[in-house]
């Protein structure tokens, strides 16, 4: 374990493709962060398998075994702190987090959401985008605040909405960009180049557009 790297914990409930993007980024010795723990609330989540394959310690904390959201969150919090986690990445973690937990990691927890926030919060974001008829859709990495899918925006990537798109087609196009911006966002943080200033994130980077990824339209 290289000294001086930001110690990251990842929370994931599902397939973990964003976790994989972070694992792959961290495999570069020059990447300024390392994943020290992966935690899931879902037994059999493929994210746990990905972590094991990468040699990262894992934990399974089943939310159903806790009497309240706060009790579950306290167990997650204890696990992260025991592992020496300094920064948390939510990567498809399908649990609402209590206000106390979020406050405890204020400024030290980010999430990836499959829409250009503040548009299309919650679930089924691609269907929401199609329903709204937007021509540009995308994904967002943001700092986590207590309200759902709220918090200062750190990085975004845009994709075109094409004629004939289904929610699945759009999801696949967006997911590809998620895998680009999550490592980028984590790098900006770990290098101290992304600083929360009230409700916005100030990016100190050579190119102002570094936090916006715009793929070329096909």
Interface with ligand GRF (CB under 6 A), residue from 48, 73, 178, 187: 178
Residue 142 known to be catalytic: no
Stretch that binds ligand GRF, among 16-24, 129-137, 149-157, 191-199 (CB under 6 A): 16-24
Residue nearest ligand GRF, Cβ-based: 92
Sign (positive or negative) of CA dihedral 118, 120, 125, 131: negative
Strands 136-143 vs 153-160: parallel, antiparallel or unpaired: antiparallel
State in angstroms the smallest separation of the CB of 217 from ligand GRF: 21
Q: Is 41 in the site for ligand GRF (CB under 6 A)?
A: no
Of the candidates 113, 126, 137, 179, the residue annotated as catalytic is: 113
Burial class (CB in 10 A: 0-12, 13-18, 19+), 84: exposed
* Contact between 140 and 155 (Cβ < 8 Å): yes
Q: Is 183 in the site for ligand GRF (CB under 6 A)?
A: no
- SS3 category, 76: helix
* Contact between 16 and 45 (Cβ < 8 Å): yes
State in angstroms the smallest separation of the CB of 92 from ligand GRF: 3
- x/- map, 44-83, ligand GRF, by CB under 6 A: ----------------------------------------
Decide whether 62 or 202 has the Cβ nearer to ligand GRF: 62
Decide whether 18 or 98 has the Cβ nearer to ligand GRF: 18
Cβ within 8 Å of residue 123, ≥6 positions away? none
**Beta-carbon neighbour count of residue 64 at 10 Å?**
6
Q: How far apart are CA 139 and CA 180, in angstroms?
A: 10
Q: Applying CB under 6 A, which residues contact ligand GRF?
A: 12, 14-19, 91-92, 112-114, 139, 175, 178
- The catalytic site residues sit at 113
């Amino acid at each position: 374990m290289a000294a001086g790297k930001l110690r990251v914990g990842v929370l994931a409930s599902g397939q973990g493709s964003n976790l994989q993007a972070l694992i792959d980024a961290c495999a570069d010795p020059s990447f300024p962060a390392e994943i020290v723990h992966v935690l899931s609330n879902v037994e059999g989540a493929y994210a746990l398998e990905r972590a094991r394959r990468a040699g990262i310690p894992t934990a399974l904390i089943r939310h159903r075994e806790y009497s309240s959201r706060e009790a579950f969150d306290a167990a997650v919090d204890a696990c992260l702190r025991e592992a020496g986690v300094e920064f948390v990445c939510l990567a498809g973690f399908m649990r609402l987090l209590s206000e106390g937990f979020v406050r405890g990691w204020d400024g030290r927890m980010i999430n990836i959401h499959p829409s250009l926030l503040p548009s299309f919060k919650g679930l089924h974001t691609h269907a929401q985008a199609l329903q709204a008829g937007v021509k540009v859709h995308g994904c967002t990495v943001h700092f986590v605040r207590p309200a759902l899918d709220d918090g200062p925006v750190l990085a975004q990537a845009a994709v075109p909405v094409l004629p004939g798109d289904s929610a699945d087609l759009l999801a696949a196009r967006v997911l590809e960009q998620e895998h680009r911006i999550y490592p980028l966002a984590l790098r900006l943080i770990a290098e101290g180049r992304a600083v929360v200033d009230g409700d916005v994130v100030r990016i100190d980077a050579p190119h102002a557009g570094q936090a916006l990824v715009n793929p070329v339209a096909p």
